[in-house]
Structure 1
Amino acid sequence: MAEHRIFGTSFASVYPHYVAKAERKGRTKAEVDRIIGWLTGYGQDALDAQLENGVDFRTFLAQAPRMHPSRNLIKGVVCGVRVEEVEDPTMRDIRYLDKLIDELARGKAMEKILRGD
């Protein structure tokens, strides 16, 4: 499936697009990092190391310290795909991250983006 090509894409190559999308809407890199940390359990130093190492998406998610147990509360459509219906667990986690960044860029409050955490 074409969407699985992203597995081999380095997370570091996509990360600047997440930050740029947020910053265009008046949000910050720190907020993007907080969302990534919430979803994956990466602290700032570990996130920076993953970015520096250029790991691909599959590795980035597989090595995540702790995928958030409430991530299944993330619902909605990203790129025409309903995230909760994505069958492949890795692809679903990628779509969850995409959805959270979309919510940030749309001005949603951080408490709501982080599902009350």
Structure 2
Amino acid sequence: MAEHRIYGMSFASIYPLYVQKAERKEHTKDEVDQVITWLTGYDDAGLREAIADEVDMRTFFAQAPGMNPNASLITGVICGIRVEEIDDPLMQKIRYMDKLVDEVARGKRMTSILRSA
């Protein structure tokens, strides 16, 4: 079976779409950055470097400093699929990120998005 095309897409091409989605709903780039850094362990400089280097999604997650241990608490449906039921680990990470950005755009409280007390 052929690899999903999103794996080869650059994070730099997807990131602005995340920001636009949040901004359309009157949320900020900083909120998008906060959820992405929470999920992946990148700091702001690392995130900017991944964008500047135009790394693909596979590399973006492979080089992530560390996935948040609470990422497994992310549940729900994105693109018609329950994120907790996705078998492919890379696709699940991508969909986790999609879900977090979705929650920012919907105006969910940040403590809830980041699965904090």
What TM-score do the two structures reach when normalised by structure 1?
Answer: 0.96
1:76 Cα deviation (Å)? 0.3
**Structure 1 residue aligned with 2:9:** 9
1:59 Cα deviation (Å)? 0.2
Residue deviations 1:77-104 (CA, integer Å, cap 9, x gap): 0010110010000000000000001111
1:2 Cα deviation (Å)? 7.1
**Structure 2 residue aligned with 1:73:** 73
- Moved >4 Å (runs of 4+): none
Stretches of structure 2 that go unaligned for 5 or more consecutive residues are none
Between the two proteins, what is the percent identity of the paired residues? 62
**Structure 1 residue aligned with 2:20:** 20
**Structure 1 residue aligned with 2:48:** 48
Corresponding letter in the other structure for 1:18: Y
What TM-score do the two structures reach when normalised by structure 2?
Answer: 0.96
In the TM superposition, what are the counterparts of 1:104-115 in structure 2 within 5 Å?
Answer: 104-115=104-115
1:4 Cα deviation (Å)? 1.7
Aligned length: 117
Say if 2:102 is the partner of 1:102. yes
